[in-house]
Amino acid sequence: MKVTYFPGCTLKNKAKQLDIYGHKCAKALGVELEEIEKWQCCGGAFTTSSDEIATKLSSVRALKEAESKNQPLVSLCSACHNVLKQTNHAIQTNETFRARVNNYMADGEYNGGAKVMHYLELLRDVIGYDAVKEKVVNALNGKKVACYYGCLLLRPSKVMQMDDPENPQIMENLVRALGGEPILFPYKNECCGAYVSFENKDYTAVKSGKICNNATLNGADIILTACPLCKYNLEKCGSDIPVVYFTELLAEAFGIKE
Whole-number average pLDDT of the chain = 95
- pLDDT value of position 34: 98
* Domains of the chain, first to last: 2-120 (1.20.1050.140), 136-254 (3.40.50.1860)
The answer to whether residues 153 and 162 touch, using CB atoms and an 8 Å cutoff, is yes
Nearest to 225 by CA among 78, 97, 113, 81: 78
Length of the chain in terms of residues written:
258
Confidence of residue 49 (pLDDT cuts 50, 70, 90): confident
Q: Which residues contact 2 (CB under 8 A, 6 or more apart)?
A: 31, 32, 34, 69, 71
pLDDT for the residue numbered 118:
98
DSSP 8-state class, residue 158? H
Name the residue type at position 8.
G
pLDDT at 45 exceeding the cut of 80: yes
Residue type, 71: Q
Kind plus residue range of the DSSP H or E element containing 98: helix 95-102
pLDDT, residue 241, reads 98
pLDDT, one tens digit per residue, over 117-127 is 999 999 999 99
pLDDT for residue 199 is more than 90: no
**Percent of the chain at pLDDT exceeding 90:** 89
Predicted pLDDT of residue 242? 98
Helix (H, G, I), strand (E, B) or coil at 118: strand
